[in-house]
């Protein structure tokens, strides 16, 4: 067995200290992209990485690249990392664990006196969450050439402040772009954000990719009327129509082969206690690994919505507002993560990622995979989000050993693009 | 046949002219209680009634009493009237038709040279709608001794303005109370606000009373989570739980014997597209003429809510926030309205009022009944609210002849309180 280990106490210390930037009273963090708290966390990350011997590069999107030089700097580097921004009143593991895991890997390599063949780059992608400036995964999206930098500079928050001006204000608008392509391999280490690993008693999640996604906006038009004098059989009640539709969305998702379907927003009008609602706007989020099954679920849901509009005397308008194809990760890297977890005696599980991540973009031009660790109670995007320190260290060990193996690959090894 | 008629052209002219106070672009009115528009409409009503020979009395709640003196002023008077305030972007018939109907009755009596035995009082009750200052039926409630005047003075609107100060500002805070009790009979003439008369092809609705009412606030607690990584069978989705409950509320109402059940408000949290809702607050409004059947429906709905909370892994808290007993109108006055409609060859229908009215309060101490005319499409509390001029005149004719009969009752006639 040829594995090395991270230092669990140091990892916990890093994670505890960085959680102070934007800490909330209930144990979470509010560290919105390009806020003062984001800046302070970035400053601290830079200090730590530079103390650990890394070079820092910052590109024009504020993406931070911490580079641990390899023996042969002409070789394609290995990249890892995630994001340090958070949701409002979010958790203290989401995103940041992937950067701190990379930092701890650097420190553990230093402790072991290991010089890798290839450069190791740990990255902090700007504005993954998109909760202050929408859309999210902004830094990785521009890096991948899929989002337009000038357009992203123009994004505004609720106070009308722009992404570009805020990036400049916090001092993280780099002067030119840094482009380490081609990349030999890219790993993102992240908490699961769901309950699967915990329920199945596994420590390491090995997603084969990120599910595909379909978003819908639905408008139900009924007839608003007085709740008293209108007999039940003469109503065109948009909330009743909604209730039947939302029930079907859930039940169709439940009966499907691994597709999830969620009604997350409901906006009735007039939303008044003694008035029959005349209109309901609602949203549907549908995701699945199997694109054909996902599209079948979408069709079944669309048909159920139309049938229930008809049955309740309402009319309905269904718009698909977003569709993203699934992102399959690189099979050889997925296998490597399984192999490393086995060498470390960590129980691992094949799964998919239901959430999107920066790796969606990086996966489009570089061999990529992700490493998950359990979220306690499956909770995330909330202050209660938690992962045990032992699981944090286990995931960091997997990351470290994946880096060790890939960053020492000889020049002749390349990962061909997956079919 | 011993009937007289109102003047349809004059009635239409009155209704058209008064609709200018607070007129909206789409043909409705916004004439909120104690606004400038309310004041201007009150001023015009006073001019019209005084031109028609009435005395005006204004009490400390701003209720306006227009008195057409009878031959024997010691006899208990006959009262009619309604309210001239409206909902925001409400209709131009709701409320005001009952006052204008009374005004037209006064004018028609004048034209016919009729002096009644008893005083006829046409009243404009302050703040029936309650949409600016909650609760509504404020003027009639204080008049009936059921609401506290000082407490009502303290009600505030969204801008923090008080009922008392606004009443004073518009010049309608009378110096002392006016109390014409006992009343011989009280009629309120109103649009139906529902579709029943139109669907049944009847011109005059004769409600036997106002239905009883039960209001509920319901809180569903589930577990908020990410819409992607959480499998369908591991969710405690508060919107899904709501959808099942709201469906049952409607279906139980539909299957009942004449009870209506409405979910009017839904407030999910966090109400975000890609988050499973952790909480839903919703309201239920249940009304029926048969109190026992209404309470049975309430019990069935409560049980269904608890069962669906259980089935969806959520918890639920159900609070009954308001319960009002039904208000049966005076049977002799109800019969009289039927008799008068028959004499006028107007097709009438026994029904109930699903909406509340000022007469709920007056009915508690004086023999009362209501006269309904059709709402086109059953629509009310909306700018599209409409009643044909012919139906407006038909209802005014019924009111006029009911007044004629009761206000000429000899001293010896009294309407005993109903059982």
Q: Torsions phi, psi of A347, nearest 5? A: -70, 125
Report the percent of chain B where pLDDT is more than 70. Answer: 99
Of B229, B237, B256, the CB nearest to A192: B229
Asked if residue A347 is part of any domain, the answer here is: yes
Contact between B395 and B373 (Cβ < 8 Å): yes
Centroid of chain to Cα A317: 30
Same domain, yes or no: B111 and B192: yes
Q: Rounded distance, CA A303 to CA A298, Å?
A: 9
Residue A232's closest chain B neighbor by CA? B254
**Subunit contact A237:B378, Cβ cutoff 8 A:** no
Of B229, B266, B355, the CB nearest to A194: B229
Tell me the per-residue pLDDT of A52-88, one tens digit each, with 9 for 90 and over: 999 999 999 999 999 999 999 999 999 999 999 999 8
**Subunit contact A199:B382, Cβ cutoff 8 A:** no
Residue range B332-356: mean pLDDT, rounded: 97
Same domain, yes or no: B234 and B100: no
Tell me the per-residue pLDDT of A87-107, one tens digit each, with 9 for 90 and over: 988 999 999 999 999 999 999
Residue range B104-130: mean pLDDT, rounded: 97
The answer, yes or no, to whether residue A199 has pLDDT greater than 80, is yes
Closest C-alpha among B288, B357, B365 to residue B323: B288
Chain A contact for B228 (CB, 8 A cutoff): yes
Q: How far is A201 from chain B (nearest CA, A)?
A: 15
Q: How many CA atoms lie within 13 A of A162 on its CB side?
A: 11
The answer, yes or no, to whether residue B74 has pLDDT greater than 90, is yes
Same domain, yes or no: A394 and A383: yes
Contact between B206 and B351 (Cβ < 8 Å): yes
B254 φ/ψ sector (left φ>0, alpha ψ -120 to 50, else beta): alpha
- Which residue bears the tokens 């319901």? B218
Of B194, B239, B243, the CB nearest to A230: B194
Closest C-alpha among B262, B282, B279 to residue B270: B279
Q: End-to-end distance of chain B based on CA atoms, in angstroms?
A: 32
Chain A contact for B135 (CB, 8 A cutoff): no
Chain A contact for B319 (CB, 8 A cutoff): no
Asked if residue A88 is part of any domain, the answer here is: yes
Contact between A64 and A46 (Cβ < 8 Å): yes
pLDDT band at B380 (very low <50, low <70, confident <90, very high): confident
Residues in chain B: 419
Q: Rounded distance, CA A124 to CA A6, Å?
A: 20
For residue B375, the model assigns a pLDDT of: 96
Residues 6+ apart with CB under 8 A from B8: B389, B390, B392, B393
Does A273 or A69 have the greater pLDDT score? A69
The number of domains in chain B is 2
Mean of pLDDT over chain A: 96
**Subunit contact A240:B228, Cβ cutoff 8 A:** no
Q: How far is B131 from chain A (nearest CA, A)?
A: 11
**Subunit contact A260:B356, Cβ cutoff 8 A:** no
Asked if residue A389 is part of any domain, the answer here is: yes
Residue A255's closest chain B neighbor by CA? B232
* B contacts of A88 (beta carbons < 8 Å): none
Same domain, yes or no: B148 and B31: yes
Same domain, yes or no: A244 and A376: no
pLDDT band at A416 (very low <50, low <70, confident <90, very high): confident
Report the percent of chain A where pLDDT is more than 70. Answer: 99
Report the percent of chain A where pLDDT is more than 90. Answer: 91
Lowest mean pLDDT among A192-196, A281-285, B8-12: A192-196
**Subunit contact A194:B226, Cβ cutoff 8 A:** yes
For residue B134, the model assigns a pLDDT of: 86
* B contacts of A327 (beta carbons < 8 Å): none
Tell me the per-residue pLDDT of B237-266, one tens digit each, with 9 for 90 and over: 999 999 999 999 999 999 999 999 999 999
Contact between A68 and A179 (Cβ < 8 Å): no
Same domain, yes or no: B239 and B167: no
Same domain, yes or no: B195 and B61: yes
Q: How far is B4 from chain A (nearest CA, A)?
A: 31
Q: Rounded distance, CA B345 to CA A301, Å?
A: 54
Of B213, B231, B353, the CB nearest to A196: B231
Binding-site members of B for Zn(2+) are: 83, 94, 129, 190, 381
Same domain, yes or no: A12 and A156: yes
Of A199, A256, A262, the CB nearest to B276: A262
A12, exposed or middle or buried, with CB in 10 Å at 0-12, 13-18, 19+? middle
Same domain, yes or no: B52 and B193: yes
Q: How far is CA B193 from CA A19, A77, A399, B354, B357, in A?
A: 59, 73, 68, 9, 11
Residue A213's closest chain B neighbor by CA? B228
Mean of pLDDT over chain B: 96
Of A324, A345, A374, the last residue of a domain is: A324
For residue A1, the model assigns a pLDDT of: 52
Q: Rounded distance, CA B73 to CA A42, Å?
A: 88
Q: Rounded distance, CA A173 to CA B171, Å?
A: 63
pLDDT band at B418 (very low <50, low <70, confident <90, very high): low
Same domain, yes or no: A263 and A236: yes
Chain A contact for B356 (CB, 8 A cutoff): yes
Residue A216's closest chain B neighbor by CA? B273
| Element at B245 (helix H, strand E) | helix B238-255
- Return the SS3 of A353: strand
DSSP, residue by residue, A37-76: HHHHHHHHHHHHHHHTT-EEEE-TT--EEEEE--S-TTSP
Asked if residue B3 is part of any domain, the answer here is: no
Of A266, A298, A324, the last residue of a domain is: A324
* A contacts of B223 (beta carbons < 8 Å): 379
pLDDT band at B381 (very low <50, low <70, confident <90, very high): confident
Contact between B385 and B89 (Cβ < 8 Å): no
Same domain, yes or no: A261 and A299: yes
* B contacts of A224 (beta carbons < 8 Å): 382
For residue A419, the model assigns a pLDDT of: 55
Chain A contact for B269 (CB, 8 A cutoff): no
Chain B contact for A242 (CB, 8 A cutoff): yes
**Subunit contact A273:B265, Cβ cutoff 8 A:** yes
pLDDT band at A418 (very low <50, low <70, confident <90, very high): low
Same domain, yes or no: A221 and A293: yes
Tell me the per-residue pLDDT of B275-322, one tens digit each, with 9 for 90 and over: 899 999 999 999 999 999 999 999 999 999 999 999 999 999 999 998
The answer, yes or no, to whether residue A417 has pLDDT greater than 80, is no
**CATH code (residue B85):** 3.40.630.10
**CATH code (residue A257):** 3.30.70.360
Domain that holds residue A335: 8-210+326-406
Asked if residue B419 is part of any domain, the answer here is: no
Of A230, A283, A381, the CB nearest to B378: A230
Asked if residue A296 is part of any domain, the answer here is: yes
Contact between B353 and B211 (Cβ < 8 Å): yes
Tell me the per-residue pLDDT of B124-160, one tens digit each, with 9 for 90 and over: 999 999 989 988 999 999 999 999 999 999 999 989 9
Tell me the per-residue pLDDT of A144-181, one tens digit each, with 9 for 90 and over: 999 999 999 999 998 999 999 999 999 999 998 999 99
DSSP state of B160: S
Asked if residue B179 is part of any domain, the answer here is: yes
Of A303, A324, A345, the last residue of a domain is: A324
Closest C-alpha among B381, B320, B278, B316 to residue A377: B278
Of B234, B273, B381, the CB nearest to A226: B381
Centroid of chain to Cα A387: 16
Asked if residue A412 is part of any domain, the answer here is: no
* B contacts of A382 (beta carbons < 8 Å): 224
Task: Return the CA Rg of chain A.
Answer: 23
Residue B374's closest chain A neighbor by CA? A229
B57 φ/ψ sector (left φ>0, alpha ψ -120 to 50, else beta): beta
Contact between B405 and B336 (Cβ < 8 Å): yes
* B contacts of A245 (beta carbons < 8 Å): 243
Q: Rounded distance, CA B271 to CA A263, Å?
A: 9
For residue A385, the model assigns a pLDDT of: 93
- Which residue bears the tokens 């699934």? A326
Q: How far is A101 from chain B (nearest CA, A)?
A: 22
């Amino acid at each position: 067995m040829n594995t090395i280990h991270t230092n669990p106490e140091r990892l916990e210390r890093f994670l505890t200290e960085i959680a102070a930037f934007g800490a909330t009273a209930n144990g979470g963090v509010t560290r919105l992209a390009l806020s003062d708290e984001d800046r302070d966390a970035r400053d601290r990350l830079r200090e730590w990485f530079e103390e650990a011997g890394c070079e820092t590069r910052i590109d024009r999107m504020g993406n931070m690249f911490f580079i641990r030089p390899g023996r042969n700097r002409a070789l394609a580097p290995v990249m890892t990392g995630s994001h340090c921004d958070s949701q409002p009143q979010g958790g203290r593991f989401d995103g940041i664990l992937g950067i701190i895991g990379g930092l701890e890997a650097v420190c553990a390599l230093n402790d072991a006196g290991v010089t890798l063949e290839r450069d190791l780059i740990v990255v902090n992608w700007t504005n993954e969450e998109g909760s202050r400036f929408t859309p999210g995964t902004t830094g990785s999206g521009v890096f991948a050439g899929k989002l337009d930098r000038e357009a992203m500079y123009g994004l505004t928050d609720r106070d009308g402040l722009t992404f570009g001006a805020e990036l400049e204000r916090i001092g993280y608008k780099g002067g030119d772009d840094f482009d380490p392509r081609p990349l030999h391999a890219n790993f993102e280490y992240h908490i699961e954000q769901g309950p699967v690993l915990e329920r199945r008693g596994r420590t390491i999640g090995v997603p084969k990719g990120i599910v595909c996604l379909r978003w819908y906006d639905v408008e139900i038009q009924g007839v608003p009327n007085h709740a008293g004098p209108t007999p039940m059989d003469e109503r065109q009640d948009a909330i009743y129509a909604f209730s039947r539709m939302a029930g079907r969305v859930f039940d169709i998702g439940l009966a499907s082969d691994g597709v999830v379907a969620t009604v997350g927003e409901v906006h009735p009008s007039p939303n008044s206690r003694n008035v029959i609602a005349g209109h309901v706007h609602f949203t549907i989020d549908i995701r699945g690994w199997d694109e054909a099954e996902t599209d079948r679920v979408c069709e079944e849901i669309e048909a159920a919505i139309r049938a229930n509009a008809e049955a309740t005397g309402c009319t309905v308008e269904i718009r698909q507002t977003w569709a993203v194809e699934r992102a399959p990760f690189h099979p050889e890297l997925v296998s490597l993560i399984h192999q490393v977890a086995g060498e470390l005696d960590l129980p691992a599980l094949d799964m998919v990622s239901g959430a999107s991540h920066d790796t969606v973009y990086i996966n489009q031009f570089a061999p990529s995979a992700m490493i998950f660790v359990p979220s306690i109670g499956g909770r995330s995007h909330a202050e209660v989000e938690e992962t045990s320190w032992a699981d944090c260290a286990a995931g960091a060990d997997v990351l470290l050993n994946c880096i060790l193996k890939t960053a020492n690959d000889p020049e002749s090894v390349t990962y061909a693009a997956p079919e």
